Structure 1
Amino acid sequence: MNDPIRTPDLDLALGFTIPERHARGRMVRLGPVLDRILTAHDYPPPIEALLAEALTLTALIGSTLKDGTKDTGGQLTLQAQTESGIVSLLVCDYRGGELRGYVQFDADRLADAPSDPSLFALFGTGYLAITFDQAATGERYQGIVPLDGDSLAEVAAQYFVQSEQIPTLIRLGANPHNPRITGGLFLQHLPEGEEGRERLHVRDDHAEWEHVAVLGGTMGADELADESLPLETLVWRLFNEESEVRILPAQSIVRGCRCSPDYIASVLAKFPIEDQREMADDSGMITVDCAFCAQKFPVPIGERSLS
């Protein structure tokens, strides 16, 4: 009997815990979802690579939130902003398995930049804001750190150390043969006896964490983004000598955008008819562009949603 063909681990997040080391982890690999988001925007290569990295990071951190649907789950928003760089704004968010993002940039300044610009070359002096919205409790909190590092992964790890005092390791990578396949590893130290919450306070003694971080640091970017390697196999490669590693159910990731003709019509209907006329063209249509999905939505003046 032939072995069944295994579907590659793409557009998935896999969580795990290492109880005796008081650590939790998450692995993510993106493929078709990332391709769909990037294709919609047709960005130049440096901007596309930046957004791919940011989307992978957003899925990696966002998938650690409590399980839930797009309507009941929490939301993670990652925003990088500056007034002095080539990139003026980068926004990504993850909610209930739905991932989206976009970038605003100066094309003329990008044309004068090196072909492979650094994070500083793209942003100059800017900051990264990470916002958690907890649907179950209604709690919302945000941390902001300077864009001071060689990568978004390095900056995000500093956020957890500075804002939440949580030792954290983040590794990201893109497939060298197909940069629209990416992967990520997220490791965190937990206080003794806990297996995970959104916000944690840890002990000053991090001996067990150092052991986990050293092992996590051996994971190569090529492995993270290798679609032929199941995510569970990567966890085993890192931590096969631990007495217990608990694998959590995998989460699917989809490309998500909340825009629709009906939703946009409902938003426009809140404006007075005089304001709608000012927004409309000569044919009486108001055209709304969605920055996330790069679609245009023409709506007639005075149209209301069906809901």
Structure 2
Amino acid sequence: MAGQSETFCNQPLRFSIPTRDARGRLVRLDEVLAEILAAHAYPPLIEKTLAEALVLTALLGASLKEKGSQLTLQTQTEKGAIRLLACDYKDGALRGYAQFDPATVAALPDDSTLLGIFGKGYLAITFDRMKPAIEGGGRYQGIVPLEGDTLADAAANYFVQSEQIPTLIRVAVDHVNGRCVAGGLLVQHLPEGEEGRERLHVRLDHPEWEHVEIIASTIARAELADPSLPLEEIVWRLFHEEQEVRIEQGHPLSKGCRCDPVHIRDVIAKFPAEDRADMADDAGDIVVDCEFCSRRFPVSLASFNN
């Protein structure tokens, strides 16, 4: 394995195993996760579920290399404790929030599965790539049922069903020194021809993929969520017997709520004056709530007359 350098939390790690036609990503969220969760007083079950969703968003978003590209992960449900869960990633900026029914959540056990938390629903994953369409750019969305025990299971099904890529995803959420820490591993099979040549048919039972999947499955939850364990060390523990493993640091992650008073005012200014008047409260302010950071932005009607 080339190079062993210290890896800190909140910075994804990409790796590839050329002789096995496999690639992967690792991420661990600590300080960034604490900042995002601090905006809302989530019950433990909701906190754990949102933390898992944020790890998945970071794992998927880390594949985007073009500046301005965005990955959005969102659940759509009919009934359940969580009515809406939304996360996105853009240029290393990560954000997310969950809307839930407190009474329903209070009645659920801590080890509830997807069905218990969401009821019947779907997981939507949207890629917005900032490059020409002929090179795979533009918007692409895949929607799969919320099936399995965890969001990681549903996300793995997305890759199998929507992109026909054999994928293993593991996510762990734990509390370390009084705060939530979460980590995740994503490993995929890339058949010969993936890079620059016609892609061959993907086989879930491909012998190279079976080998990588078995090894990757041995990852322990404690390893993924341990902030003192460098991500490079996890790759080494799993794949040190391979002929070659290449690693690459991903874009450092940060809390990424993009609400901005100037931008909000510019958006409101595009509405006709009569519509703005209807939006205003008794004090003459149009108040915009940001669900991601739990902040309110009042914009005075009088400011549009200047």
Contact 2:7 2:232 in 1 (8 A): no
Please name the residue that 1:44 is paired with. Answer: 43
Q: Deviations over 1:158-196 (max 9, x none)?
A: 111111110000000123435511110000000215459
Relative to the length of structure 1, the TM-score reads 0.90
Match of 1:257 in 2: 257
Residue equivalent to 1:80: 75
Aligned to 1:222: 222
Counterpart in 2 of 1:127? 122
- Sort the Cα spacing of 1:219 and 1:144 in 2 relative to 1 into closer, same or farther, 3 A: same
Question: Mapping of 1:119-268 within 5 angstroms?
Answer: 119-137=114-132, 138-177=137-176, 178=178, 180-194=180-194, 202-204=201-203, 206-268=206-268
CA distance in 2, matches of 1:287, 1:211: 55
1:57-111 per-residue CA deviation (whole Å, 9 max, x = no partner) reads: 110111012x24xxx3321111111121121111111111111111111122223
- Residue of structure 2 equivalent to 1:32: 31
Q: 2:210 is aligned with what amino acid?
A: E
- Contact 2:91–2:251 (Cα < 8 Å) also in 1: no
> In 2, distance between residues paired with 1:302 and 1:186?
51
Mean alpha-carbon deviation: is it higher for 207-216 or for 170-179?
Answer: 170-179
Equivalent residue letter for 1:133: D
Q: Which ranges of structure 2 fall in alignment gaps of 5 or more residues?
A: none
- CA distance in 1 between counterparts of 2:38 and 2:175 reads 18
| Counterpart in the other structure of 1:273 | 273
Measured after TM superposition, the shift of residue 116 of structure 1 is: 4.0
Cα deviation, residue 291, structure 1: 1.0
Asked whether the 8 Å contact 1:118–1:150 carries over to 2, the reply is yes
Q: Name the SS of the counterpart of 2:58 in structure 1.
A: helix
Partners of 1:55 and 1:101 within 8 A in 2: yes
CA distance in 2, matches of 1:196, 1:235: 26
Partner of 1:3: none
**Structure 2 counterpart of 1:290, one-letter code:** C
Separation in 2 of the partners of 1:124 and 1:181? 26
Say if 1:292 and 1:121 are closer, same or farther in 2 by CA, change over 3 A. Answer: same
> Any idea what the Cα deviations from partners look like across 1:131-177, whole Å, max 9, x if unmatched?
11111124211111111110000111011111111000000012343
Partner residue of 1:112 out of 107, 115, 124: 107
Give how far 1:32 is off: 0.7
* Percent of pairs with identical residues: 57
Please provide the CA RMSD for this pair: 2.1
SS in 1 for 2:282: coil
The Cα offsets for residues 188-228 of structure 1, whole Å up to 9 and x where unpaired, read as 0002154599xx76433611011001110001111011111
Deviation at 1:127, TM superposition (A): 0.6
SS of residue in 1 equivalent to 2:38: helix
Amino acid of the residue matched to residue 144 of structure 2? V
Whether the 8 Å contact between 1:13 and 1:29 is mirrored in structure 2 is: yes
Q: Larger deviation: 76-85 or 14-23?
A: 76-85
Which amino acid in the other structure matches residue 74 of structure 1? S
Unaligned runs of 5+ residues in structure 1 are 1-5
Paired residues of 1:81 and 1:87 also in contact (CA < 8 A) = no
Runs of 4+ in 1 over 4 A off after TM superposition: none
Q: Is the 8 A contact 1:15 1:250 kept in 2?
A: yes
Relative to 1, partners in 2 of residues 1:238 and 1:202: Cα closer, same or farther, differing over 3 Å? farther
Q: Report the Cα offset of residue 115 of structure 1.
A: 4.3
Is the CA contact (8 Å cut-off) linking 1:190 and 1:202 kept in structure 2?
no
Which of 102-111 and 184-193 deviates more? 102-111
Q: Is the 8 A contact 1:265 1:303 kept in 2?
A: no
Instruction: Quickly say closer, same or farther: Cα 1:105–1:283, change in 2 above 3 A.
Output: same
TM superposition score normalised by structure 2 = 0.90
- How many residues are matched? 294
Deviation of 1:8 after TM superposition, in Å, equals: 6.3
